[in-house]
Amino acid sequence: MKSITRHCLIFALLLSLILFSNCKREIFLNPNYELIGNDPQPSAMEFIESNPDLTELERIMGVTGWDEKIMTTDSFTFFAPTNEAFEKFITENEAYNSINDIPSAIITDLLDYHLIKNKGYILRDTFTEFLPTTSLSNFDGPNSLFIKTEGSIRINGERKVALQDVRLKNSIIHMMGEVATPISLLDIIEVHPELTTFAELFEREDIASDINELLNGEGPFTIFAPTNGAFSDLFSELEINGIGGIPVAELKKVLQYHIIKTDNLRSENLEPSSKISTLLSNQELTIGVSNNIKNIRGNNRTANLISTDGQGSNGVLHLIDKVLIPTN
């Protein structure tokens, strides 16, 4: 009996030593761990430098000088790509044999796309937002990360987060299992939970085949996207059950009426009383403002902008709370 007890004690001691030796790695890999309340809290750079899953990120930041951005930014959220994320990125991009083949300017922009300044986003909170990154689009303004956290955390429509909500000194880091890159407007519409009805229009060949072909181009385009609630209100107004109650020709006109060709019109570019041309020939929209909220007006209907500046790879998207109907 004494022998059994001694063996149990030895086993417990060995187990404790193993757990203690692995505690440093557990800090980085346990999804429930939060670096908060430590005095003093480590900085983002200290976290990255100490993390065995971020060695490639640390090296790239040093080579490009991007680490200066982290060290000189007062507060931020950083979606930090892991070693595995960079490996996947190289595998999926046949133009590069290794991360060393990627030009420094492209690496810098890639890291910029994972950084949001001046605000800490906790992914345990429930929200759906376009987050402006420090990466500049080819047209105007910052590229957006599209984040949805309800149900599951999705970055640009995909599960990419390996470790969330690491709270550090003046910053929050989320470790990414995949590198994120800007997505197109059609991709944003496809994955946005508030645009499932609007997305149905693009899925119909009889409505949007030529429109899809256009929007698969480089752009820029601007889309005013009615939410699911906006379509529900329209169906109630027309006393119909869904888009099947509207003739195909009219649905196509409605879709064209919400798309602006050749312009990347961010919210700051929407000047009150200005008119903008739509894909629908000779049908314009007018920019308005009411109670400090900008809106879009057309054919005696007014739609408020409720979520703005979703900057995609080929243009910008704004959510609106009413479906606009063109004149016959």
On whether both 193 and 166 belong to a single domain, the answer is: no
Which amino acid is residue 323, in one-letter code? V
Nearest to 189 by CA among 226, 243, 135, 139: 226
pLDDT beneath 50, residues of the chain: 1-38
Same domain flag for 265 and 313:
yes
SS (H, E, C) the chain: CHHHHHHHHHHHHHHHHHHHHCHHHHHHHCCCCCCCCCCCCCCHHHHHHHCCCCHHHHHHHHHHCCHHHHHHCCCEEEEEECHHHHHHHHHHCCCCCCHHHCCHHHHHHHHHCCEEECCCCCCCCCCEEEEEEEEECCCCCEEEEEEECCCCCEECCECCEEEEEEEECCEEEEEECCCCCCCCHHHHHHHCCCCHHHHHHHHCHHHHHHHHHHHCCCCCEEEEEECHHHHHHHHHHHCCCCHHHCCHHHHHHHHHHCEEECCCCCHHHCCCCCEEECCCCCCEEEEEEECCEEEEEECCEEEEEEEEEEEECCEEEEEECCCCCCCC
Interval 22-44: pLDDT, tens: 433 333 333 333 444 445 689 99
- 236-275 pLDDT, tens digit each: 999 999 999 999 999 999 999 999 999 999 999 999 999 9
Structure tokens at 183: 């997505």
Tell me, yes or no, whether 247 lies in a domain.
Answer: yes
Evaluate whether residue 22 is within a structural domain.
no
* Nearest Cα to Cα of residue 228 among 195, 189, 200: 195
How confident is the model over 75-90, as pLDDT tens digits?
999 999 999 999 999 9
CB 293 within 8 A of CB 307: no
- Candidates 298, 320, 111, 283; CA nearest to 197 is 320
Q: What is the pLDDT of residue 197?
A: 98
Domain range spanning residue 189? 185-320
Query: What is the model's pTM?
Result: 0.86
Q: Which residue has tokens 């064209």?
A: 256
Same domain, yes or no: 37 and 162: yes
184 touches 312 (CB < 8 A): yes
Quick one: pLDDT at residue 26? Answer: 34
Residue 5 lies in a domain: no
Q: Is the domain of 206 the same as that of 304? A: yes
Asked whether residue 148 falls in the same domain as residue 195, the answer is no
- Pair 163, 197 in one domain: no
Distance, CA of 188 to CA of 199 (rounded, Å): 10
- Shared domain for 189 and 307, answered yes or no, is yes
Q: In degrees rounded to 5, what are phi and psi of residue 282?
A: 65, 20
Q: Which of 176, 202, 233 marks a domain boundary?
A: 176
Give residue 39's pLDDT.
53
The answer to whether residues 109 and 220 belong to one domain is no
Q: Looking at residue 328, what is its pLDDT? A: 79
| Average pLDDT value for the chain | 89
- Of the three residues 176, 208, 232, the one that is the final residue of a domain is 176
Q: In what order do the strands lie in the sheet with 115-117?
A: 115-117, 76-81, 171-176, 161-168
Residue 156 and residue 288 share a domain = no
CATH of residue 68: 2.30.180.10
Nearest residue to 301 via CA among 254, 249, 248: 254
Residue 235 lies inside a defined structural domain of this protein: yes
34 in the same domain as 156: yes
Contact status, residue 131 vs residue 147, Cβ threshold 8 Å:
yes
- Tell me, what's the pLDDT at 181? 96
Dig out the tokens for 200 from the structure. Answer: 């149905």
CA distance 128 to 61: 29
Q: Quick check: is 89 in a domain?
A: yes
Decide if 19 is inside a domain: no
**Contacts of 201 by beta carbon, 8 Å cutoff, 6+ apart:** 207, 208, 243, 251, 254, 255
Same domain, yes or no: 86 and 155: yes
Beta-bridged to residue 78, according to DSSP, are 115, 173
pLDDT of residue 95: 87
Domain boundary among 176, 195, 210: 176
Is residue 328 assigned to a domain? no
- Number of separate domains in the chain: 2
Considering the domain boundaries, does residue 39 fall inside one?
yes
41 with 149, same domain: the answer is yes
